[in-house]
Amino acid sequence: MTTLLTSLQTGTAVLTLNRPERANSFNFEMVNELRNALADAETNPQVRCVVITGGGKVFSAGQDISEMKQAEKISYREHLEKTYNPLILQIRNMGKPIVAAVNGPCAGAAFGVALACDLRIAKSTAYFVVGFGGIALAPDSGVSLLLPTYIGLGRAQEYFYSNKPITAKQAYEWGMVNQVGGFNFQALVRQVADELTSGPREAFAAGKMAFNHAVLPNLEEALTYEGILQESAGKTSEHLEGVAAFLGKRKPKF
């Protein structure tokens, strides 16, 4: 079964994360499929907008922890350099607008993916969890830069330390989410996508470049530094305990 479903809907490429048995968590295959689908959308003249969403009732739980557990000797920095770092940069550098349609829980690396998108539309029942602190890791996937950019440093640190969920309502009030939809969520996503597909493609691309230059000029540097920190954090006894507790569905003893 493919980990990513793709469809073209009136100028919009809809990319649906599709690992329902694992809460749409990312593995190597899904990251690669998403990157390839984005590259195809970038060069396809029929595509003027991209929507990333999750299958079922979950957007994504982030990185598949069990996959990382199976590869205990993996370098976390090397893993980020091969997966999320290029994915986040690809999303930010893509000239066509990308909308994160957050249909349910969104955590960890998936939170970084959603934050990297140009717009975020959340279902009213959706929520966001920083997630990394729960397994004794530092934020990665651009979260260390993108989250404070949207909600401020104080809130970003609070929700990293506490691992509390950020509700769709809070996210909207803080400016992290652009719109929130209830029963009309799918129609709202469709409406926003249609508006984007009818806009000036080249001007949108130039505008995104301008915003990147003005607000996120150090994104690549931040991603690299996240990898350095994660390499160290991944070797600690706290991280081993965090992963064991996560897989054992118990509270960690740090």
165-185 pLDDT, tens digit per residue, is 999 999 999 999 999 999 999
pLDDT in tens, 121-143: 999 999 999 999 999 999 999 99
pTM: 0.96
Residue 246's pLDDT is: 86
Does the pLDDT value for residue 71 go beyond 90?
A: no
Does the pLDDT value for residue 153 go beyond 70?
A: yes
Residue 170's pLDDT is: 98
Cα–Cα distance, 185 to 53 (Å, whole number): 12
Structural fold of domain 4-184: 2-enoyl-CoA Hydratase; Chain A, domain 1 (3.90.226)
| 36-42 own/partner pairs: CB under 8 Å, 24+ apart | 37/4, 37/6, 37/13, 38/90, 38/91, 38/94, 38/98, 39/90, 40/13, 41/13, 41/15, 41/94, 41/96, 42/94, 42/95, 42/96
Q: Which residues contact 45 (CB under 8 A, 6 or more apart)?
A: none
Banded model confidence at residue 105, pLDDT cuts 50, 70, 90: very high
Closest CA to 112 of 100, 97, 125, 94: 100
Mean pLDDT rounded to a whole number for the chain: 95
